[in-house]
A and B are shown apart, each in its own frame.
Chain A
Amino acid sequence: MYKIAAMGDRDSIYGFASLGISIFPVDDSAQAVKTLRQISENGYAVIYITENLASQISAELDRIKDDPLPAVIPIPGISGNNGMGMSRVSRFVERAVGSDIVK
């Protein structure tokens, strides 16, 4: 039995609590890395993370990207969409094909 988590600044993720998703408000990247490690070992299979926070801890995300779980999914926060999620998908295509052929 796995759980779902949301990480990011408090304002962006607060609404998810009502859906039954565990929320982990974090503010700085060091705390974020710590929390991420902790919750990925504790049965969280899907972790939604705000794009802002995700771009701060991209090294840590790269480290766990080839593990089957957890699935770390960037979502836009309250400050808006910075395009990181889409460029991530484009990077998958680049990695697989060599260039971004899916527009």
Chain B
Amino acid sequence: MAVMNVNPTRMELTNLKRKLTTARRGHKLLKDKRDELMRRFLDLVRENKELRRRVEEGISEANRHMAVARSVMSDSALDVALMMPTQEMSLEIEEKNVMSVMLPVFNTKLKTADENDIYSYGFAFTSADLDDAVKSLSDIMPLMLRLAEVEKSCQLMSAEIEKTRRRVNALEHVMIPRYEETIKFITMKLDENERSSTTRLMKVKSMMLEDARQKALARDNEAAAQF
């Protein structure tokens, strides 16, 4: 991993050490976030698959009834029967915060108080199969709404997990090693500088000692000559 392009100074070293601590803490937090998201996501996905299986079964059941109704009744009669729905469904949406992912929570509201008020036609001119079709659709409606909620949540969570995973990996395999190497590089450089100045001092000291010895020797010789 490449060492960052920085000056090997003590100030840089302190800065980098601080950054490394932050990166390590961030990495730990993000990893925890990823693990928790993953746990919830997997629960949700299992529920999603189960719901989807049941909804798909329910819808094909309803479609079978519908096909029979369509074959018994004329198209125009069917149109008339279903044209003006008595029921109107609307949603209140709340948000649930799961690990800073906003997941939708749907609450249904019906226009009429009785939730069984689903037949928008008189029973005289329609086939009983139409009743069955409408009934079976109405039976799976709560499941379908729950499916919408769960599936959207799964979709949003999978995006968030992907992002978090990338961040964790970037910190773990790029940022943290890079900081560590740069810190090592600066430490080595500073140690090297220190050693070189120590050697220089030792050298200077030995030169000065040698000089002093020479001077002392010269003085001694001078004194001996005058004697």
A contacts, CB < 8 Å to B: 1-4, 11-12, 14-21, 45-46, 48, 65-66, 68-69, 71, 73, 75-78, 80-81, 85-86, 88-89, 92-93, 95-97, 101-102
Bound form: Cα–Cα A76–B53 in Å: 11
Q: Establish whether residues A3 and B45, one from each chain, have CB atoms under 8 Å apart when the complex forms.
A: no
Interface contacts (Cβ under 8 Å), in number, total: 142
Contact B55 A75 (CB under 8 A): yes
Residue among B119, B148, B159 facing the most chain A CB atoms (10 A cut-off): B148
CB distance from A12 to the nearest CB of B (A): 7
B118→A18 contact, CB < 8 A: yes
Q: A15-B133, A71-B149 are in contact. Are A46 and B90 (CB under 8 A)?
A: no
Residues of chain B at the chain A interface (Cβ within 8 Å): 38, 41-42, 45-46, 48-49, 52-53, 55-56, 59-60, 62-63, 66-67, 70, 78, 82-83, 85, 87-93, 102, 104, 106, 109-111, 118-120, 133-134, 137-138, 141, 144-145, 147-149, 151-152, 154-159, 161-162, 165
Bound together, the chains give a CA A48 to CA B180 distance in angstroms of: 52
Q: Point out which of A16, A77, A85, A92 has the most chain B C-beta atoms below 10 A from its C-beta.
A: A92
